[in-house]
Structure 1
Amino acid sequence: MNKQQMTEMLKGTLEGIVLEILATQPAYGYEITAQLREQGFSDVVEGTVYALLVRLERRGLVDVEKVPSAKGPPRKVYSLNGRGEEYLSGFWRTWDFLVERIQQLHPRKEHPQEEGQ
């Protein structure tokens, strides 16, 4: 897999991915980064996630609550709000449209390991 291509494609979709994580449950930046890494997005750094969360907050797609932390200052916990849910729904409609068109351009091929069986 080409790491640079992955990074470029991820830039356009990370917003929707983070909103989908928040659709499941409220979370703070480090938790979101950890979930991304668990899902295989190991190159995503906390700074990228925090910058993205600030943009989502400014656009009114998430609500923020400061929650006391046992270790240091209060944590900002982000949750998806109604406007964010609408945006996320549009993200998935767009994603489905793009996947369908890409598959028409490049039909799904057999996995190489299946060919030898």
Structure 2
Amino acid sequence: MMELPKDIESKWDAQLRKGTLELVILAALKGRRLYGLELLGQLQSLETTAITEGTLYPLLDRLKRDGLVDAHWQQEGETRPRKYYQLTMKGEGKLSDLTTRWRKSTQDIEILLHNPGPGPIRPKGD
């Protein structure tokens, strides 16, 4: 198997991340209530979802404006307050829709990968 040069791999990862960021953030918040840096740490712990604060916070603000996440400040002991984020019902619905599209997309790509050559592409079941 040929390995991609690091610059091409890096560009690929950046484009993939850009196209899936909303799905990734909504998925990371599914069933969780996380403050911003905690969410960032979760995303940075995975190779293909690592982003910066400068990318995360504007996106969280947009998701909040769109009604997909709820945010509230909470004081914890003597530390400064933290802003916690969680999915709204609308956000859970959007996550479900995006998950369905993601799975269909990866299924379609798998069909292409398993049907090389000059012949017609035959989806499973045809």
Stretches of structure 1 that go unaligned for 5 or more consecutive residues are 109-117
CA distance in 2, matches of 1:25, 1:71: 21
Give me the whole-angstrom Cα distance separating, in 2, the residues matched to 1:42 and 1:65: 24
Bigger fraction of residues in helix: 1
Q: CA deviation at 1:75?
A: 1.7
Q: How does 1:2-41 map to 2 (within 5 A)?
A: 2-41=9-48
Write the deviation string for residues 74-111 of structure 1: whole angstroms up to 9, x where unpaired: 22100101000000000100001100111111129xxx
Q: Percent identity?
A: 35
**TM-score, normalised relative to structure 1:** 0.83
Task: List runs of 5+ in structure 2 lacking aligned partners.
Answer: 116-126
SS in 2 for 1:24: coil
| 1:49-68 correspondence to structure 2 within 5 Å | 49-68=56-75
Cα distance in structure 2, aligned partners of 1:81 and 1:92: 16
User: Structure 2: which amino acid aligns with 1:38?
Assistant: S
| Length-normalised TM-score, structure 2 | 0.77
1:9-45 deviations in Å (ceiling 9; x for gaps): 1111111111111113111111111001112247411
Match of 1:71 in 2: 79
| 1:45 maps to amino acid | T
Which is higher, the Rg of structure 1 or of structure 2?
A: 2
Cα distance in 1 for partners of 2:12, 2:58 equals: 21
Q: CA RMSD in A?
A: 1.8
